[in-house]
Amino acid sequence: MSNFDPNEAITYIIKNSEAHAKAKANRVYLEQWRKTCKAKLMNECDLKTIADKEAYAYAHELYEEVLEGLREAVEQEEKLKFLLIAAQLRVEVYRTESANNRRQDNATR
C-alpha cells in the first residue's frame, strides 16, 4: 500500500458520484413508477374486486417490465455504491497506515 496515492481514490469518488446519484434517482423513479403502473393497470381492467384487479396488474407484461427495470436499477446503484465505499475505505486504510508509520518512526528515534 506504500505506493498508493489517496488522491486517485478521491478522484474516483468525485468522478463517479454523479453516476451513483443518477443510478439512485433512476431506482427511486422506477419504484414510484411501479405504483403508478399498477394503479393504471388496475383501472383499465373490467374486473370487479380489488384483489382481482391487483392480480391482473401484477401479472401484466408492462408491470413485469417495470420490475425488470427496477431490478437493473438496483443492481447498478448497489454496484456504484460499493465501488465508492471501497474507494473511501482505501483512503481510510492509507490514513491508518500513514499514522502507524509515523508512530513507528517516532518510536525508533
Residue 97 domain-assigned (yes or no): yes
The C-alpha cell 433512476 sits at 26
Q: Which domain holds residue 11?
A: 6-107
**Total domains, the chain:** 1
HSE toward the beta carbon, residue 48, CA cutoff 13 A: 0
Stated pTM of the model: 0.76
Residue 23 domain-assigned (yes or no): yes
* Confidence band for 107, pLDDT divided at 50, 70 and 90: confident
The whole-number average pLDDT for the span 28-55 is: 97
N-terminal to C-terminal alpha carbon distance within the chain:
24
Residue 80 domain-assigned (yes or no): yes
Residue 1 domain-assigned (yes or no): no
Residue 33 domain-assigned (yes or no): yes
Residue 47 domain-assigned (yes or no): yes
Average pLDDT of the residues of the chain: 92
